[in-house]
Structure 1
Amino acid sequence: MNSFTFYNPTQLVFGKDSIEKLPQMISQFTEGKKILVTYGGGSIKKSGLHTKIMNLLADYEVYEFGGIEPNPRLSTVKKAVAIVKEKEIDFILAVGGGSVIDGTKLISAASKLDNDPWDIVTRKVTPTAVVPFGTILTISATGSEMNSGSVITNWETNEKLGWGSPLVFPKFSLLNPEILYTLPENQTVNGIVDSMSHLIEQYFNEADNSAIGDAMIAGVMKQIMSAGRTALSQPDNYEARETLMLGATVALNGFMRMGYNGDWATHNLEHAVSAVHDIAHGAGLAILFPAWMKYVSQHQPARFAQFAEDVFDVDQNLSESEKVEAGIKGLEDYWQSIGAPSRLSDFEITAEDFETFADKTLFNGPFGNFYQLDKEAVMEIYKLAE
C-alpha cells in the first residue's frame, strides 16, 4: 500500500431521531444566530421537512437559498455567496443530496474570499477559512455528507470540475433513512449507481496490495445491490434504506481508499458529458463504467477477473477471459435490471460530441491512476458507450 494519513472530522448522526438533534449540533460550532438554509428544487417543502427544520431553528434568524441544481452551477453559488456576505451569516445548513452539499461547500469557502469562486475550483486560490456548515441528507448517493470534495459546473464554459479542501468537511451530517421513502424511483436508481461507482473507482487502484480495501469494497457493494432491489420494490423498507444511506456514505468518506487513490478516470469521462448535456451524474456513470471496463480489461485482465470473483462470485473454474466477461456483464445486468440507462443515445448524445468530450477530459493530459487514458482510448470508450 501507499503510505497514508487518514482524517475525517465530520460528526455523523445516524438514525430516526437524528434531525431532532439539529439545534444542539449547530450550537457546538457557532454562538451566532444567523443561519442560511440551502436546498434544491423545493421537495423539502412538499415532504414537510422544511417545516420541521424551521421549527427546530425557531431560536435563530433564518435565511433561505433554494434552487441549487442537480449539477450545481457556479452562477448559483455566486448568488448564495452574496447573501452570506450581506447578511453576515454565521452557519450554513445544507438540506439535500450531493449537489446541494457540493454547492454549499463552495459557498462556505468563497464567502471568506473576495476572489471569484471559480478560482477556488480551478485551484488558483486556496481557502484559508470557511463559514462552518452542516448537512441534513435527503438523497443517498455521493457521500458528500462526510467528505471534503465538491464538483461544480461552470455552465458558461461547459466545464465540470472537482475540487476539495480539508476545511470543507461538514461539521456534522444528520442522516435519517426514513427521509428516503419518498424519493422518486430514478433518484434511488441514480444513487445506487453513484455509490457503487465510487466503490468501483477505488477497487481499480494503483496499489500492489489492497486486500483490506478489496474485501470492504466487495462487501459493501453486495449489500448495496441487495438493498437496492428491496428499496425499489418496497420504498418504505427501513432496513434497505438504512443500508443504502450508510453504504453511500462509507463508499466515499475515505474508509475504502486507505493506502491508494483509486482510478477516477470514469468520473472524468462522465463530467465531460454532463457539463455539456446536464444529465444526472449517476445516469452518466451507468453508461460509461461498463464501456471503460470493456476497454481497460483488454489491457489489465487479471484485476477484472478478480473483481468478478470478489463481487459477483463467478465460478473459479472459468478462464480469466470468461471471468472478465462475466464480471462486466454482471454489473451491466444489475444496473439495467434496476432501470439505469445503458447508452449515450438514450439521451440523444451522438458521436458528433465525442471530440468535445475528449478535449475536456484531457485538459491536463492523460488521466487515470489504474490505467492511463490518452485521446485514442477516450474516444474508443465513448464509442463503446454510444
Structure 2
Amino acid sequence: MFATISQNLTQHGIRYVEFGGIVSNPLLSKVREGIQVAREHQVDAVLSVGGGSVLDSAKSIAAGTLYDGDVWDLFIGKGQINAALPVFSIMTLAATGSEMNSGAVITNDVTREKFALHSVHTFPKVSVVNPALMQSVSRDYLVYSAADIIAHSIEGYFTAAVQPKIQSRLVETVIATVLETTEMLLKDPGDYNARAEFAWASTLALNGLTYAGTSGFSYPNHMIEHSLSALFNVPHGAGLSVIMPAWMKWYHSQNPTQFARFARTLFGKGTAEEGIAALEAWFDKIGTPTRLSQLGITEVDMPAILENLKGNTRWFGLAETYTQETLTTILKLAL
C-alpha cells in the first residue's frame, strides 16, 4: 500500500518525508520527534496511513508543529490549539472513529499519563475509509476494535443525564451492527459488506452523531482503561472489554431503565443483570479478555493503577464520583 501511495504522491508532484514507527498506545516521545521532523522539512500537511494510533499521532504532530511550546501542554490544559497543519487520513483499521472526530489520545512515556486533546483545528480534512484496505486486520485486533466501538457507544448511552430515545436507538443500531458484523468477519474475513458496515459503525460511534441532543455524559470506562494501557501497554480495546462488564455491574442500579432497555433490545434479556452477563459472554465468545488476569494484571498491581487513576479522574472531571474506594470496587469486579 505504501508503495502505491508513494507513487501517487510523486506522480502528482507532491514532495513528502516518511515518518514511521508509531506503536499502539502512541507515545509522546514519538510525537515530539515527528514535530521536529515536520518543522525541519517545513511540511504543509500530515497524511496518516494506518489506524487510530497513527492518526492520533498525526493530529498531535499537526497541532504541535504550529504551537510555540511543548506539545504536552495541549493535553494538560497549559496551552491552546489556535492552528494546526491540515490532516488527511487513509484508514487501515476501524475502531477509534478518529477519522471523523477531533480527538487524539497520547501516552506520556515518562509520567505514564494517557490524555487527549481536542480542537476544531484537528478534524481530518479528508479521511479515506475503504474496507478493502482493512482486510489484513488480525483476529485479535478485530475483536479489540469491536470492544472499542461498543465502549464509545455505551459511555453516553448509560451516563447521559439527557438521552432522547432516538439517540438511544441510534446507539443500539451501532452496537447491533458491531455484534453482527464481528461474527460475520470472524467466519469470513473477506466479507467486504460486513467489513464496510463494521467500519461505518466505528465512524458513527464517535463522530458526534449519537451524542447529538444529549447532555451530562461522561467516559468512565475510558478513564479507567487509560490507566491500564498507560501502565501495562495493553491493547486499548482489550482493556475496555475487561472494564466495561465490571463497570456495568457497579453502575447499572444508577440507571436501571436504560440498562433494562439495553438487555431487552440487544440481547433479548429480561433484566439489566442478564444483559450485562450477555455482553460479557459475547466478549468471551469472540475472544477478547473480560478479566484483568487475562491481561497479566493482578491484585498486586492495584495500588499502582489507583495512583495513576488520581490524575485521570481529575482530567476527566470525575474525581468526586470515582473515588479511590469506588475505583477499587470496580477493579475488583474485573479481577
Same fold by TM-score greater than 0.5: yes
Counterpart in the other structure of 2:322: 373
Paired with 1:108 and 1:209, the residues of 2 have a C-alpha distance of 34
Pick aligned residue for 1:329 from 271, 277, 286: 277
Paired with 1:226 and 1:50, the residues of 2 have a C-alpha distance of 31
**Matching of residues 118-129 of structure 1 within 5 Å:** 118-129=72-83
Paired with 2:317 and 2:206, the residues of 1 have a C-alpha distance of 18
Q: Output the amino acid matched with 1:235.
A: P
Inter-CA distance 179–164: structure 2 relative to 1 (3 Å threshold): same
Q: Which runs of 5+ in 1 are unaligned?
A: 1-48
Q: Establish whether residue 384 from structure 1 lines up as the match of residue 318 from structure 2.
A: no
Pick aligned residue for 1:274 from 210, 222, 229: 229
- Would you tell me which structure has more helix in proportion to its own residues? 2
- Which range moved further: 203-212 or 281-290? 203-212
Counterpart in the other structure of 2:35: 81
What do residues 233-252 of structure 1 show as CA deviations (whole Å, max 9, x unaligned)?
Answer: 10010011001111100100
Pick aligned residue for 1:239 from 171, 178, 193: 193
Q: Output the amino acid matched with 2:305.
A: F
Q: Is the contact between residue 80 and residue 107 of structure 1 (CA under 8 Å) also seen in structure 2? A: yes
Describe the SS at the equivalent of 2:214: coil
Counterpart in the other structure of 1:140: 94
Counterpart in the other structure of 2:116: 162
Counterpart in the other structure of 1:43: none
Counterpart in the other structure of 1:114: 68
**Matching of residues 105-254 of structure 1 within 5 Å:** 105-254=59-208
Q: Establish whether residue 310 from structure 1 lines up as the match of residue 265 from structure 2.
A: yes
Paired with 1:366 and 1:359, the residues of 2 have a C-alpha distance of 14
Counterpart in the other structure of 1:55: 7
What do residues 87-141 of structure 1 show as CA deviations (whole Å, max 9, x unaligned)?
Answer: 0001110001111111111100000023111111111000111111100000000
Counterpart in the other structure of 2:309: 361
1:367, CA displacement in angstroms? 6.0
Describe the SS at the equivalent of 1:248: helix
1:311, CA displacement in angstroms? 2.0
Pick aligned residue for 1:263 from 218, 239, 247: 218
1:282, CA displacement in angstroms? 0.1
Q: Output the amino acid matched with 1:148.
A: S
Paired with 2:115 and 2:314, the residues of 1 have a C-alpha distance of 15
Inter-CA distance 209–65: structure 2 relative to 1 (3 Å threshold): closer
Q: Which runs of 5+ in 2 are unaligned?
A: none
What do residues 175-202 of structure 1 show as CA deviations (whole Å, max 9, x unaligned)?
Answer: 1101111111111111111111100112
Identity %: 36
RMSD of aligned Cα (Å): 1.6
Give the structure-2-normalised TM-score. Answer: 0.95
Describe the SS at the equivalent of 1:230: helix
Paired with 2:321 and 2:255, the residues of 1 have a C-alpha distance of 11
Q: Establish whether residue 293 from structure 1 lines up as the match of residue 248 from structure 2.
A: yes
1:368, CA displacement in angstroms? 7.5
**Matching of residues 41-52 of structure 1 within 5 Å:** 49-52=1-4
Paired with 1:366 and 1:164, the residues of 2 have a C-alpha distance of 13
Give the structure-1-normalised TM-score. Answer: 0.82
